[in-house]
Structure formats: structure tokens, C-alpha cells
Chains A and B, each alone.
Chain A
Amino acid sequence: MKPDRTPALLGAILAAVVAGGLLLPQWTLFILTLACAQGLVVLGLVLLQRAGLVSFGQALFYCIGAYTAGGLSRAFGTGDLFVQMAAGAAAAALVAFVLGFLLARYRGIFFGLLSLALSMIFYGLIVKSEALGSTDGMNLVKTTLFGVRPDAAWVRYAMAVAAACVALGAAWLTHRYLRTPLGRLSPAIKDNEIRVEYMGASVRYAIHVNYVIAATLAGAGGALAATTVGHIDPEMAYWTTSGEFVFIAILSGTGSVIAPFLGALVFGAIHTVAYDVSPNTWQMSMGLALLAAIVFLPDGLWSLFAKRKTA
């Protein structure tokens, strides 16, 4: 058996963020924090992908997380990052638990489109809801950490470190989950459901659990994004947002729980550079980047590292 290097790697990354963050410019810390938020969502997608499912509607839970944070902010003036993330994750998990009874019955394109439809229904609801700010969305109160608002010069750094702690902690928990019997069931489900059922395991239950975990991660990610940007709007539930997450998932690959964060960071970097260089055609640059990833790295960015390991 190969030794499990993931926990050490996660620790090293966290140390790098804590130390390196001191040297990085503010705007890169912002990108890093957002990459943590998106990486959390994509981590959930990867979990579903392992069982052969692609969700084109993960923005539903991302947006639920964001609006939960927004609601806390508006109703109670709560700006604490950890409270918002916990509440966002819990709200998304609850919704996913209910929807899971329906979705766990479907596979392939039906699962994908049904998840897309649900996210668009939610989009439609918040666009029409004046209480939630309709198409304009709403602003959030300033973020605090354990009730303390960091000094302006340090706030980006403090948030990036806090976000990295949560994101890498979630990655570690997911990594542990993948090594449990239930977590290990996913590739078997992808390969041969009949065999899994006739061995005495419930495919639907396993998919339901994966779906709820994925939603929990997306909810936490949504709350983190909301409080980082300071503003939320219905676009967060729109299908293009879901598409972005699938984009990052393909870019990342399913090789490791770290891959989604790497993918999100690269995505953020390409996005920023492309927008900077050609503001009118940045989508084309993104498309070309995705094409290049599919052609040259069919197993995602992570395959770069996986190959080096075996060499």
C-alpha cells in the first residue's frame, strides 16, 4: 500500500498560504479566497463524478449558501465568516436531503438536467422575490472573524487564511470519507450498479449521501463567496454559474481532493488575466483554455502531479 500523503500535503499547502500570504498582493489574496469558495463546490462535484454523476445545477446550493449568509447579515447583522459558512452549509444540506429522494433515482443526462432544472427554479424564485432584492441582490455587512473585524490592511490576509483553513479542512474530511466503505462504493456504482445491489448495498442511499455532502460543501462555498465579495445576486444560481463549476471540475480532474482547489485557482488566474488582456473576448480565452485542458490533460490538471509521482 502506498503511504497516504494527502494529509501532509494539505498541511504543507496551509503553511504555504499562511507564510506566502504575507508576501502576496491584496488582489491575489482575494482570488485565493474565491478559489477556496469555488474549490469547495467543485470538491462536491468531484464526489458525484466518482459515482458517474454530473450535476449541472450545483449553483443551486452555492446560491442557497450565499443567500443564507445574506439573510443572516440582513436580519441579524451577523458578519462572522464561520457562522455564515456553517449556516450556509446547513441550509444547503437540508434542501439537498429533501431533493435527494427525487434525484437519487436518476442517472446520466436525466440527473444532470433535473439538477439544472431545480437550480433554475430557484433562480426564478429569487429573481421574483423583492424581499431578497430581486435581480439586484443585496449587500452583506462587513466580514468578521470570531466577531472581530481585522484591521483594513490585514483583512484580506486574515480571510484568505481562514478560508484556506476551512477549505483544506473540508478536503481532509472528504479524503477520509472517500476511504470509508460508503465512500469507496462510488467507483463501483459508476462501473456496475447491478453488482453493487446484488452484493447487498443500496446504490440510491450511497448517491443520496454523496449528494448531501456535495451540497453541504457548495453551501459553505457559497457563503464564503458571498461574504468575500460582499454582495450577492440571483446570478449565483444561474446555469452559467453551474457550468463554471463543471468547467473547473473538468480542469481539475478527480485524482485528489486537492485538485478542485488547484483547478479553481488556475481558473481564477486565467479568468483574471484573460479579462485584463481582452475584456471583450475573455470568454473565448476561457473556452480555448478548456479545450486545451481536454485535449492535453484529459484527466485534468492533477494528472500532471500524478504522472510525476509514478515516474
Chain B
Amino acid sequence: MPAILEAQGLSKSFGAVTAAEGVSAAIEKDSVVGLIGTNGAGKTTFINMITGYLKPDSGSIRYEGRDITALAPRDIARLGICRSFQIPQLYRSLSVRENMLMALGIMLHNADLGGFFSFGRPDVPGHDAPAEEVADRILGRFGLSGYGERNAQVLPGGMRKLLDIALTMAAKPRVLLLDEPTSGVSAQEKFGIMETIMHAVKAEGATVIFVEHDMEVVSRFAQRVLAFYDGRIIADAPPQDALNDAEVRRYVVGGVHA
């Protein structure tokens, strides 16, 4: 399988704190990769560097062979690398459906003043359907159909997580980075929510990289695991091998379950 995303020797420090040191990883197309590690190990820094929020001090990031290290978050997003957030970033004053329509509306943004001179409703790029139709389709896949008119602010935690990820679907992501998609969700709900997410995301054919603290979730959904410790990747292997690695057991798994 060819690599869709390649990080080469990424390093980043904040003053005396080293958040990433020589991080290299090649992510294969259509794979599902789990990132594990204790808090402060460098998982979110890795995601932030890939999506352009943080610029690495050294190293490079290539996406489909193109160097994207210096690009701004919005330009990286336009290329098809999207992310969800640990704390859902929703349009709080809008309803669930309006949130979705707003995200789709932003995708029309490339058309800029499109619609100023024409009176028809343009199709959303990449979706080939008008925004309303696409919005309902995506909400349906995420099990949010019944919540369309609810205000995003009063949605239960799990639903907010789902909506946060559903919004990224508007951009037709080729690579999707999920920052702790099940944090703040009860243990009983975790698997159901991950099931829904994976199903919906895979229906759109995206490569997935997700950060997760629950090792059961990781071993069930990830095809490959990158274990972070102290800004470095200490293991890069299929879930069972990675979780049984001596260093991972000592620094990561032990750290979480201790």
C-alpha cells in the first residue's frame, strides 16, 4: 500500500519542553491508525503539526508526495486533511442541521461570490448534490437525524462528539484525524460511538488516524498503533504486538491503567 501521509523527523519544543523529537511515520492509504500514549506524550502535538496548527522546528510532512509542512491549516484542510477536536468545536448558537449546512456552506466558499449573479442553488463540491440533501445524508450516517432541530449547545456529550466529526465530512476528507473521539463519553457508549464513527467515515473512504486512551477501543478499531512517549514514537506495530511491547507496557499501558 502506498503511503498517503509521511512525517519525517518532526521535532517541536516549547522552551525547555520537548513535545516531539524525531517523529517519523508513514500512514498508508485507507488504513486506521491509533495513537496512544500518556498525557503530554506528543499525540496531539503530532496531530497539530500535521494539520498546520503548529509548525515543526525541523522535519517535514508530505501528503501524496507533496510537502505541506509550511501550509496554513485552511490550505491543508482544502487538500483533504481534516480533523475533529477533543473538545467539540461547534457553532453553538445554531441547530444541529444548521451546523451541518454551515459546514457545507463553507465548502462552497471556494466559489466565493458564487450565487451572487445566479439564482440557482449550487451543488456542494465533491458531493454532487445540494447542501440540504448532503446534510441530511451525513447526519443520517452519524445517527443524528432525529436531532436536526436541537440546538448544538444542549446536545449530550456523545452527540456533540458525533456532530463534531460529522462536520468534517462536509469537506470530503481523504485523511481524517480524530483527537480523542470517545473522551468524555461513558464506557458503555464508547463502542457504539466508535462503531458509528468508523462506519460513517469509511463510507466516505477516508484514512483515519485517531487518538485514544482506552486500549480495548484501540485494539478493536485500529489496524496499526503508534505509541508515543516523551515526544518520541516508541512502538509502531499492529495493535496486539504494540500493546504487548515491553516499553509500551511500561510507559503507556501501565501508565493508563495504574
Selected contact of A201 from candidates B91, B109, B116, CB within 8 Å:
B109
| Stretch in A156-164, A186-194, A215-223, A297-305 touching the partner | A186-194
Q: Is the CB of B114 within 8 A of A180?
A: yes
B96-120 to A contact mask, C-beta < 8 Å, 1/0:
0000001101111111111110000
Asked if A184 contacts B90 (CB within 8 A), the reply is no
Pick from B51, B85, B114, B167: contact of A181, CB below 8 A.
B114
Residue B89 is within 8 A (CB to CB) of chain A in the complex: yes
* Nearest CB of chain A from residue B209's CB, rounded to whole Å: 15
In the complex, A66 has a CB within 8 A of chain B:
no
- Docked-complex contact B92 and A192, CB < 8 angstroms: yes
**Which of the 9-residue segments B21-29, B56-64, B74-82, B248-256 touches chain A?**
B74-82
Most buried by B among A176, A188, A202: A188
Report the Cα distance A180→B167, complex, angstroms. 20
A177 within 8 A of B: yes
Q: What chain B residues lie within 8 Å of A198 (beta carbons)?
A: 51, 73-74, 77, 82-83, 89, 168
B218 CB-CB contact with A under 8 Å: no
Interface size class of B (residues with CB under 8 A): 20 to 34
Query: CB distance B91 to A185 under 8 Å?
Result: no
Residues of B within 8 A of A (CB): 51, 72-75, 77-78, 82-83, 85, 89-94, 102-103, 105-116, 167-168, 170-171
A195 within 8 A of B: yes
Assess the B93–A202 pair: CB atoms within 8 A: no
Known: A181-B106, A191-B94, A192-B90. A199 touches B112 (CB 8 A): no
Residues of A within 8 A of B (CB): 176-177, 179-182, 184-185, 187-188, 191-192, 194-202
CA distance A191 to B85 in the complex (A): 16
The verdict on A195 contacting B74 (CB below 8 Å), with A184-B105, A201-B106 known, is no
Distance (whole angstroms) from the CB of B73 to the closest CB of chain A:
5
Q: Are B89 and A188 in contact (CB under 8 A)?
A: no
21 of the cross-chain contacts (CB-CB < 8 Å) are A177-B113, A177-B116, A179-B115, A180-B113, A180-B114, A180-B116, A187-B91, A187-B102, A192-B90, A192-B91, A194-B89, A195-B167, A197-B77, A198-B74, A199-B74, A199-B82, A199-B107, A199-B167, A200-B78, A200-B107, A201-B106
CB distance from A201 to the nearest CB of B (A): 5
Complex Cα distance, B171 from A176, in Å, reads 25
B106 touches A199 (CB 8 A): yes
Q: Once the chains bind, are B171 and A199 in contact (CB under 8 Å)?
A: yes
- What are the 10 A-B residue pairs with the smallest beta carbon separation, nearest first? A200-B77, A181-B108, A200-B78, A191-B91, A195-B89, A199-B106, A201-B109, A181-B109, A201-B106, A184-B105
